[in-house]
């Protein structure tokens, strides 16, 4: 659910925020990034911190003094947000990996149990007919 919501919301979010950024409307882009309709969007969560940092750099005049340092500060904000959101998206994957790695053994156990039942049926009837074997396998 988390991945599908994040992807769906990010696909809607990207063109909308791009339109504001092309127009130079950073505050509007930040408002869109903080909106309720993008609360699961990984792209919005990452980009909003970079935009907020860039807005701060503009307001403090750092962009005019040292544009390269301002860009680096925004990049670092995006990198921090990416690391946090990546950890959030990875949450729960270890449980899924455990289930995926043990599933073949559960299937093997079922097969073994069915064969034991089939041989038990053969022992009780004294023959290897289809009626004796199929009850244990099915």
What pLDDT score was predicted for residue 137? 66
Tokens 């005049």 -> residue = 61
Contacts of residue 45, Cβ cutoff 8 Å, sequence gap at least 6 = 81, 85
What pLDDT score was predicted for residue 117? 82
Q: What is the rounded CA–CA span in Å between residue 91 and residue 82?
A: 14
Task: Give the sign of the dihedral formed by CA 14, CA 42, CA 77, CA 82.
Answer: negative
Q: What is the pLDDT along the chain (138 residues), one digit of tens a residue?
A: 678 888 899 999 999 999 999 999 999 999 999 988 888 888 999 999 999 999 999 999 988 899 899 999 999 999 999 999 888 878 878 888 888 899 899 889 888 888 888 888 788 777 777 776 776 666
What pLDDT score was predicted for residue 138? 62
Q: What is the rounded CA–CA span in Å between residue 26 and residue 72?
A: 17
What pLDDT score was predicted for residue 5? 85
What pLDDT score was predicted for residue 118? 82
Q: In the chain, where are the structural domains located?
A: 2-91, 104-137
Burial class (CB in 10 A: 0-12, 13-18, 19+), 111: exposed
Contact at 8 Å (CB) between 117 and 136?
yes
């Amino acid at each position: 659910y988390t991945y599908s919501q994040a992807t769906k919301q990010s696909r809607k979010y990207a063109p909308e925020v791009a339109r504001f950024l092309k127009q130079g409307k950073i505050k509007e882009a930040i408002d869109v990034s903080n909106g309720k309709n993008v609360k699961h969007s990984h792209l919005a969560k990452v980009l909003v911190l970079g935009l907020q940092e860039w807005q701060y750099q503009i307001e403090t005049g750092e962009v005019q003094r040292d544009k390269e340092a301002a860009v680096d500060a925004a990049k670092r904000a995006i990198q921090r947000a990416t690391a946090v959101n990546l950890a959030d998206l990875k949450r729960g994957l270890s449980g899924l990996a455990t289930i995926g790695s043990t599933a073949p053994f559960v299937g093997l156990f079922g097969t073994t149990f069915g064969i034991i039942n089939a041989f038990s049926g053969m022992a009780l009837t004294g023959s290897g007919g289809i009626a004796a074997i199929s009850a244990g396998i099915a």
